[in-house]
């Protein structure tokens, strides 16, 4: 997936395999992985002669944002799918917490 | 002896009142584990009593308690509704109506539990796939996954293939000792499967989204589960590290929203304050015999509706 994200143009299976230099992967392995990514909607593919060309469906930042929004419980459902360490607090409460931190002799790192 | 319908209705009302009282009580902070057991008992007992009270209205007295009485009541009412006319037929129809309401409530409660579980599984699977594409390991947090995002976040994805996730923002914000405290807290969640404790309460929230009491119950149990994980983490790490980690992550979250969606969501000021206060000025746990009393109360609360449903007096 990193290879697809780093590329500006759609890539064939062979091109992806060549860019995965640090790993010695069989052509069919790369093909299977790309096929699976396409089926899950993470990659788009188009015919180019006899080969498929693959492209990332959305950029990496979009997925990171989705991940974080879900993690911070911002998707609207309190489904308890994940458990967050600390919850969001309001600005006034943050001021109270900041003072509590200072009273412990610690400097808030921002 | 009171007819079971009154006892069951009283139990349903009593558990709701008890839940409201428990939501505003402060002793649960001293022994979150015992309080969670009591919450579970209240929830289970309320469901059984509410379904049972409706069933008892339409039941005929019999050998096998309200459950058996409701079945024979339904059979008898069906027969007389089909065969008779006038008042007896109307009574039979009314009896069928309350029995149907009872069955519908039971089906609703079962359904929301199944639906909530399915929704959670789907959301987690998607989350895990995204993590496998985006996250990487980091020597600063052994055993956890790191996502490159500036906002401080730390959470766990419970399940058979569980994961602890730390954002790059958290890595920058916390020192090594605080990170270890966060990891200990999240590992406690995963090991004790706290997500399964919360699941029925989030399912109830689905069934009654407008009910203030149900929302309160969910929020309270969620807070108690966090305190339980805090306590567990304290066995390995000093309280101060966990408290400063909480404070830092809490402070950093406010006023630095990555999107407009964040501002719209209600905050949890009181919860964070309570957790920090608990860590910095710890109170003694409830004495063992008081905890035992709480657990016995919980058992009794569930035993009353179960006995009435299955046994006749």
Strands B145-147 and B163-167: parallel
- Residues β-bridged to residue A9: none
Residue A82 CB-density burial (10 A; 0-12 exposed, 13-18 middle, 19+ buried): buried
Q: Out of B131, B134, B267, whose CB is closest to A88?
A: B267
Residues B85 and B52 in one domain: yes
Rounded mean pLDDT of chain A? 75
Q: How many of the other CB atoms lie within 10 Å of CB of B282? A: 12
Please tell me the predicted confidence (pLDDT) of residue B92. Answer: 86
Number of domains in chain B: 2
Residues B196 and B139 in one domain: yes
Q: Out of B133, B243, B273, whose CB is closest to A1?
A: B133
What is the rounded CA–CA span in Å between residue A84 and residue A8?
A: 36
Has the ipTM of the complex gone over 0.85? no
Residues B173 and B259 in one domain: yes
- Partner B, chain A 3-62, Cβ-Cβ below 8 Å: 40, 42, 60
Give B209's DSSP letter.
T
Contacts of B253 in chain A (CB under 8 A): 86-89, 94
The pLDDT of residue A75 is above 50:
no
Please tell me the predicted confidence (pLDDT) of residue A79. Answer: 57
Secondary structure E strands in B32-162: 136-137, 145-147, 154-157
Residues B129 and B165 in one domain: no
Q: Is A107 on the interface with B (CB under 8 A)?
A: no
- Render each residue's pLDDT in chain B as its tens digit; 313 residues: 468 889 999 999 999 999 999 999 999 999 999 999 999 999 999 999 999 999 998 888 777 788 888 888 888 888 887 887 777 888 888 889 999 999 999 999 999 999 989 988 988 888 888 888 888 888 888 889 998 888 888 888 888 888 899 989 889 888 999 999 999 999 999 999 998 999 999 899 888 888 999 988 998 998 999 999 999 999 999 999 999 888 888 887 654 443 333 333 345 677 888 888 899 888 888 999 999 999 999 999 999 999 999 887 7
Residues B142 and B277 in one domain: yes
Domains of chain A listed by start with CATH number? 2-56 (1.10.10.10), 60-103 (no CATH)
Residue B10 CB-density burial (10 A; 0-12 exposed, 13-18 middle, 19+ buried): middle
What is the rounded CA–CA span in Å between residue A72 and residue B262?
A: 8
B253 to A88: CB separation less than 8 angstroms, yes or no: yes
With CA atoms as reference, the chain B residue closest to A93 would be: B269
Range of the domain at B169: 135-282
Bigger pLDDT: B184 or A91? B184
What is the rounded CA–CA span in Å between residue A19 and residue A16?
A: 5
With CA atoms as reference, the chain B residue closest to A76 would be: B265
A84 to B272: CB separation less than 8 angstroms, yes or no: no
Please tell me the predicted confidence (pLDDT) of residue B75. Answer: 86
Dihedral angle computed from the Cα positions of residues B203, B209, B212 and B213, in that order, rounded to the nearest 10 degrees: -20
């Amino acid at each position: 997936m990193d290879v697809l994200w780093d590329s500006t143009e759609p890539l064939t299976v062979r091109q992806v395999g060549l860019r995965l230099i640090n790993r010695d992967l069989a052509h069919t392995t790369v093909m299977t992985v790309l096929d699976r990514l396409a089926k899950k909607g993470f990659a788009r593919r188009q015919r180019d002669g006899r080969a498929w060309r693959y492209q990332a469906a959305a950029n990496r930042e979009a997925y990171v944002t989705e991940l974080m929004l879900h993690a911070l419980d911002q998707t609207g459902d309190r489904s308890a799918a994940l458990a967050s360490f600390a919850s969001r607090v309001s600005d006034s409460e943050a001021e109270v917490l900041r003072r509590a931190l200072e009273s412990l002799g610690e400097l808030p790192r921002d | 002896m009171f007819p079971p319908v009154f006892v069951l209705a009283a139990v349903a009302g009593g558990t709701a009142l008890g839940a409201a009282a428990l939501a505003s009580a402060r002793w649960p902070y001293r022994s979150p584990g015992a309080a969670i057991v009591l919450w579970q008992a209240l929830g289970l007992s309320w469901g059984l009593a509410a379904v049972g009270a409706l069933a008892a209205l339409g039941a005929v007295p019999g050998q096998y308690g309200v459950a058996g009485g409701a079945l024979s009541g339904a059979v008898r009412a069906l027969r007389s509704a089909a065969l008779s006319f006038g008042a007896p037929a109307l009574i039979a129809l009314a009896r069928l109506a309350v029995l149907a309401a009872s069955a519908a409530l039971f089906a609703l409660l079962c359904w929301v539990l199944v639906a909530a579980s399915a929704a959670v599984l789907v959301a987690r699977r998607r989350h895990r796939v995204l993590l496998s594409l985006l996250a990487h390991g980091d020597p600063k947090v052994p055993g956890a996954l790191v996502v490159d995002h500036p906002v401080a976040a730390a959470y766990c994805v419970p399940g058979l293939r569980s994961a602890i996730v730390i954002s790059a923002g958290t890595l920058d914000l916390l020192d090594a000792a605080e990170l270890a405290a966060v990891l200990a807290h999240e590992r406690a969640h995963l090991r004790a499967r706290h997500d399964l404790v919360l699941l029925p309460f989030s399912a109830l929230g689905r069934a009654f989204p407008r009910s203030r009491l149900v929302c309160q119950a969910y929020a309270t149990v969620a807070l108690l589960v966090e305190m339980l994980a805090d306590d567990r983490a304290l066995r390995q790490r000093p309280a101060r590290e966990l408290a400063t980690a909480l404070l830092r992550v809490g402070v950093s979250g406010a006023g630095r929203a990555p999107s407009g969606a964040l501002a719209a969501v209600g905050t949890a000021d009181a919860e964070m304050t309570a957790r920090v206060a608990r860590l910095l000025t710890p109170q003694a746990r409830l004495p063992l015999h008081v905890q035992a009393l709480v657990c016995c109360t919980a058992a009794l609360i569930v035993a009353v509706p179960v006995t009435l449903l299955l046994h006749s007096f």
